Structure 1
Amino acid sequence: MGNVMNLGRLLSDTARRLPDRTALVWGAQSWSWTETDARVDALVAALRQRGIVKGDPILVQARNSNQLFESLWAAFKLGAVWVPTNYRLTPPEVAYLATASGAKALIYDDAFPAHADAVQAASKMLKLIVAIGQPRADELSFDGLVADALGASEPEAEVDHGDPCWFFYTSGTTGRPKAAVLTHGQLAFVVNNHLADLMPGTGPDDASLVVAPLSHGAGAHALSQVARGAKSVMLAGDRFDEEEVWRLVQEHRITNMFTVPTILTRMVRHPAVDHFDHSSLRYVIYAGAPMYRADQKEALEKLGKVIVQYYGLGEVTGNITVLPREAHSLDDDAMPVGSCGFARTGMEIAIKDAEGKRLGAGEQGEICVRGPAVFAGYHDNPEANAKALKDGWFHTGDLGRLDERGFLYITGRASDMYISGGSNVYPREAEEVLLTHPAVAEVAILGVPDPEWGETGIAVVVLEAGQAADEAELLAFLKDKLARYKQPRRVFFWAELPKSGYGKVPKHLIRNELFARGDLAEVAAQ
């Protein structure tokens, strides 16, 4: 494909163009573009000096911070691969990511010592461990490395279009997460596409509020802000605080933010929305799950015509559809209610049947997509690649239909995935852990509607003959083995699970039975 721009240049170029403008704000601290770029270059120099080279994966276990933000740009400039975790994962889950990615370095925030220990114990490839905060024996200090190398001027590594720069971990339907390989060339398209379709006209006078972890969709959103010289403002604390959100919107004249429907609804319903001025908002972008029509209307009434929806997976870095501001309306007749929008610029959507044949308008099938935003495949996973990248299209695993005008409606999931608080949850992960409990013979977990999280998991368990266990015991058994958002909230015990003619356990039969027994009504009432 030939050389392309190293994505790290987005930061270098903005720092040259707008040296003294603010790049990043976190609590009482702020950094100019020059300061941010200088810190990143120092980290690049320090890591290069210690043997981290082009292509090396750098695992990062950290909550949002200026250091997490800087680690992304340093990885890009090095030509290395940024491998951020979802910081809510448990130590064994992060240790798996370290070995699966072949991580050569770990950057972790000192709130997660057990994670660092688990990575070190599991990984044979690890060359160094860098602590954000207080390093322990044989660890390096992130800020120490930066301070020692400040003033270094580091050239960005030469890269090709297909060179990886980010392993975007997606929950695996097979119980193990898979690394979607994002590349310099592909993400350059994504940055342009986000600016064109989600927040046109974004520039240096804009300000973006970071309310979600930079390790996932919010990180992709931040790339576009850097490209245009718009400052990013992070929440000061670890916990999501609606009052702080609205205070920061007023204080920094925030113009855009990326969030998920459950969080947007919490923000809109919180009394603080009426106590602070949010008239600066131009684009409030939501993705990651469908939004109930009633919640959509509530957001439009409170914030005005500023909400933008998109649909996209990590594998296409958010680039499948957009429902722009002007397509949203309080009037049901004036908008395609229930649609997640039309194809993003330069991207094509097809609805296909099981044989791969393209279906017509109104027909339901699998949502498939092609175009420059499609990833390079899963790292070290030929089986998953063969399935997901058949016949030149990326197969999403989601079911849907296109109307005559090209608006997409998601009608279901080919898999059993549910979305809790904006995070994808594949029940098989928790099912496999529960099956290791001596009392559990069979288990099925499914997502059910939840007023706070959008969906939450419930487990139906069949016990081994002669064995006993209760809900509290099984939930406690899961506690340290899986991230909390992946754990079911309730457990029901049945004598047997319904089976199909093929001996499988169809989740829709379990759902029907839960309704029939009144158990789902009990969950909904809680």
Structure 2
Amino acid sequence: MDLKNLAAILDPQAPADRPFIIQVSPEGDEQLRLGYGEARLRIAALARGLLKRGLGRGEAVAIVAANSADYLVLYMATMAAGLVSVCVNHKLPRETVAHIMKDCSVKLAIADAERAPLVGSLVPTVAMEELDGLLDAGSFEPVDMAPEEVAMILYTSGSTGLPKGVPLSHGGYLWATGATPEQRPGIEGQKIIIAAPLFHMNGLFSAKMAMINGGTIVLMTNFMARGFIRAIDRNRVAMITSVPTMLALVMRETEELAKADLGCVTTAVTGSAPSTAEFFEQMHRMFPNAETANSWGTTESGPLGFGPHPDGIPKPMGSLGYPRANIEVKFVGGAETGATQGVLHIRTPALMSGYLNREADTKKRLIDGWYDTGDVMRRDENGFVFFVGRADDMFQCGGENVYPGEVEKLLGRHADVAQACVVPVPDEIKYQLPVAFVVAKPGTSPTEEALRRFALDNGPAYAHPRAIWFVDELPLAGTNKIDRKTLVDRAVATYARDDAKRV
């Protein structure tokens, strides 16, 4: 297919009566179905309606809403019309959303009732619930776009400072969606569950992979662990996409899991955070018929990085895979050959041209055409790559570098640990000390002393947590990743009050 607009990826071979989207509630109950035929007509009518409002090529339309079938339809219609989709994290503070509206010169916002107050006074706004008023029925062919023209703008969600706009091109994402044709047999006519928010690359790209391969999207309006299990069982979902935090919450729902039949799942993909071999073994037990995969991507460089080894060497448990064709990688700070570890720099056809209106930030991250991911990776002797942690999460303890992801994986190997998050607290002597928040597996009661001893026996002494607090669950940020900033603040306050914890 020689496509010239990202919106044209919707599989033309998919029968009109095949479900395109099955929208389900957080409890897993079906709310509506939209077939491929209906979706094609609705995307065309919305594209026509947007242009009828006088919007011009390359102008930005913001979507400020929870997950829904119409969210995806609007996302596609905007790009089909030659406009730019801006998928806004509606969990951001009001002033940050206002910055986004101004930063990318939004001309029109579509917002659901709960989020409309965020943007209604800033830009012309149409209610998502009144989207039918925008429809202009009729045929419409997606506008031919140059490869470098912007299809969408996503905003990175940093823990400090204003988020940075990342313009992503039609050409780059046409490459990304078409780079893995071997996935079609596992997706065509099958159901894929998406529970991640659609303002995040993970959810959006999973949706596009379903579209181009003729799959059916089971779309949760919001993630809830029990509802996730029910939706998989009731809809006989074949493929799940997730982040480790979501699956850790699912694993705790032992009663719901006992009632469900998840043997329908043949592919289970997780990513965006480090995971242990033990975690993947738990995934195998939960989805006994599934092939599991550890995915990796960034907003700036694209959703793809690694895949199978070209020589057919089996992928080790927990590995991201081997660099895919047309992707170049190098490990800064590591050796050029053999096993090594360093910060991953990457070049891909989906690489951004630069941050929107942020020249200084662009220069920091784009270096001679390479994107500095900030991710510390390890490469083994066969070229397989493993995620170690974030370079900017790294902190120093007594002159030694501590990577929280490595300590979390170590704690995750303990039989009683379901999930762990390691953060630093200040110390007058060591500068910073590692401490941990731990979620225990159901039915277990690990002690702080037992886990500290486990860490000392199995890892470097300087990296062992000096304090461990047990919690029912770890707080999540808007992207369903662990909210480290909240835990850092909690750890600093708690550690300062508890002199007995000082080491």
**TM-score, normalization: structure 2?**
0.75
* CA distances 1:399-453 after superposition (whole Å, capped 9, x unpaired): 2231221111333322248899xxxx9x9xxxxxxxxxxxxxxxx9999644459
- How many residues are paired up? 420
Contact kept? 2:347, 2:370, Cα under 8 Å: yes
Of the three residues 305, 310, 330, the one matched with 1:350 is: 330
CA distance in 1, matches of 2:59, 2:199: 18
Of the three residues 351, 356, 363, the one matched with 1:386 is: 363
CA pair 314-518 structure 1, distance change in 2 beyond 3 A = farther
Instruction: Letter of the 1:24 partner, please give it.
Output: I
Aligned to 1:89: 92
CA pair 338-371 structure 1, distance change in 2 beyond 3 A = same
1:159 and 2:145 equivalent?
A: yes
1:38 and 2:41 equivalent?
A: yes
Aligned to 1:399: 376
CA distance in 2, matches of 1:144, 1:64: 20
CA pair 518-82 structure 1, distance change in 2 beyond 3 A = farther
How big is the shift at 1:185? 0.8
CA distance in 2, matches of 1:109, 1:389: 36
Contact kept? 1:173, 1:415, Cα under 8 Å: no
CA distance in 1, matches of 2:70, 2:57: 20
> Helix, strand or coil: the match of 1:315?
coil
CA distance in 1, matches of 2:308, 2:187: 21
Where in structure 2 are the equivalents of 1:241-252 lying within 5 Å? 241-252=224-235
CA distance in 2, matches of 1:96, 1:181: 16
Where in structure 2 are the equivalents of 1:169-248 lying within 5 Å? 169-172=155-158, 175-196=161-182, 199=183, 201-216=185-200, 217-235=202-220, 238=222, 240-248=223-231
> Helix, strand or coil: the match of 1:79?
coil
1:24 and 2:15 equivalent?
A: no
CA pair 484-47 structure 1, distance change in 2 beyond 3 A = farther
RMSD (CA atoms):
3.5
CA distance in 2, matches of 1:517, 1:360: 47
CA distance in 1, matches of 2:56, 2:3: 18
CA distance in 2, matches of 1:392, 1:488: 35
> Helix, strand or coil: the match of 2:5?
coil
CA pair 41-363 structure 1, distance change in 2 beyond 3 A = same
> Helix, strand or coil: the match of 1:379?
coil
> Helix, strand or coil: the match of 1:294?
helix
How big is the shift at 1:104? 1.1
CA distance in 2, matches of 1:112, 1:28: 20
1:10 and 2:9 equivalent?
A: yes
> Helix, strand or coil: the match of 2:217?
strand
CA distance in 2, matches of 1:313, 1:260: 14
1:143 and 2:139 equivalent?
A: no
Aligned to 1:415: 392
Instruction: Letter of the 1:129 partner, please give it.
Output: T
* CA distances 1:306-355 after superposition (whole Å, capped 9, x unpaired): 2111111111222122479xx99xxxxx86355332213332221123xx
Instruction: Letter of the 2:280 partner, please give it.
Output: Q
CA pair 337-35 structure 1, distance change in 2 beyond 3 A = closer
* CA distances 1:97-152 after superposition (whole Å, capped 9, x unpaired): 111111111111111233124xx34xxxx4x311112xxxxxxx323223xx2x22
CA pair 394-254 structure 1, distance change in 2 beyond 3 A = same
Of the three residues 351, 355, 368, the one matched with 2:345 is: 368
How big is the shift at 1:358? 6.5
Instruction: Letter of the 1:229 partner, please give it.
Output: G
Where in structure 2 are the equivalents of 1:476-495 lying within 5 Å? 485=483, 488-489=486-487, 490-491=489-490
Aligned to 1:105: 108
* CA distances 1:152-209 after superposition (whole Å, capped 9, x unpaired): 222311201111111121134761211122111110111123554xx45234321111
CA distance in 2, matches of 1:446, 1:152: 63
CA distance in 2, matches of 1:279, 1:317: 31
CA distance in 2, matches of 1:253, 1:387: 46
Per mean C-alpha deviation after superposition, the further-off stretch among 217-226 and 164-173 is: 164-173
Instruction: Letter of the 1:71 partner, please give it.
Output: L
CA distance in 2, matches of 1:311, 1:446: 29
* CA distances 1:22-76 after superposition (whole Å, capped 9, x unpaired): 1111123111111111111111111101111211111111110112111110111
Where in structure 2 are the equivalents of 1:420-439 lying within 5 Å? none
Instruction: Letter of the 2:185 partner, please give it.
Output: G
Of the three residues 256, 274, 277, the one matched with 2:258 is: 274
CA distance in 1, matches of 2:329, 2:212: 27
CA distance in 1, matches of 2:308, 2:86: 30
Instruction: Letter of the 1:23 partner, please give it.
Output: F
Instruction: Letter of the 1:132 partner, please give it.
Output: M
Where in structure 2 are the equivalents of 1:63-78 lying within 5 Å? 63-78=66-81
> Helix, strand or coil: the match of 2:125?
strand
CA pair 339-278 structure 1, distance change in 2 beyond 3 A = same
CA distance in 2, matches of 1:446, 1:81: 45
CA pair 307-450 structure 1, distance change in 2 beyond 3 A = farther
> Helix, strand or coil: the match of 2:166?
strand
* CA distances 1:234-261 after superposition (whole Å, capped 9, x unpaired): 22x53x3333222222222211121001
Aligned to 2:118: 115
1:340 and 2:320 equivalent?
A: yes
CA distance in 2, matches of 1:447, 1:223: 40
CA pair 17-284 structure 1, distance change in 2 beyond 3 A = closer
Of the three residues 246, 262, 266, the one matched with 2:245 is: 262
Instruction: Letter of the 1:351 partner, please give it.
Output: F
Contact kept? 1:58, 1:107, Cα under 8 Å: yes
Which runs of 5 or more structure 1 residues have no equivalent in the other structure? Answer: 134-140, 329-333, 428-443, 454-478, 495-510, 522-526
Contact kept? 1:204, 1:230, Cα under 8 Å: yes
CA pair 10-518 structure 1, distance change in 2 beyond 3 A = farther
CA pair 447-384 structure 1, distance change in 2 beyond 3 A = farther
How big is the shift at 1:297? 1.4
